[in-house]
């Protein structure tokens, strides 16, 4: 009788460990799926950031801005913006002609 109770208790213990391992395996699989989705979203965001950096480099390029100006503005107004650059000394001399532009948050 003592062998029967020992074998029965070990079989029950083995079944409990099998079921607990199946539960933990299922839970870890769900976590793995969520992690893979997050990795995919992070990769997409990184690609968008790289694209935005390239677009920013293009937009800050003066020749690219001149091409856009030719596309969107009339030929009469092309030279309107060229002589509007001022130096630091001109700012100090003509401080009343400068308007400050900002954003509110």
pTM (2 decimals)?
Answer: 0.43
Residue whose entry in the numeric block shows the structure tokens 């029967």 = 4
Q: Indicate the helix (H) or strand (E) that contains 57.
A: helix 2-59
The per-residue pLDDT for range 69-105, each reduced to its tens digit, is 777 776 655 555 555 666 667 666 666 666 665 666 5
Domain that holds residue 17: 2-82
- Inside any domain, residue 50: yes
Q: Rounded distance, CA 42 to CA 29, Å?
A: 20
> What is the count of structural domains for the chain?
1
- Inside any domain, residue 104: no
């Amino acid at each position: 009788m003592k062998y029967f109770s020992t074998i029965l208790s070990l079989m029950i213990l083995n079944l409990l460990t099998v079921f607990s391992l199946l539960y933990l395996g299922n839970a870890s699989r769900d976590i793995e799926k969520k992690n893979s989705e997050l990795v995919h979203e992070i990769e997409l965001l990184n690609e968008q950031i790289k694209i935005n950096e390239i677009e920013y480099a293009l937009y800050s390029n003066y020749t690219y801005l001149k091409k856009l100006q030719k596309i969107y503005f009339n030929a009469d107004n092309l030279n309107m913006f060229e002589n509007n650059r001022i130096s630091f000394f001109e700012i100090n001399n003509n401080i009343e002609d400068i308007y400050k532009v900002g954003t509110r948050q």
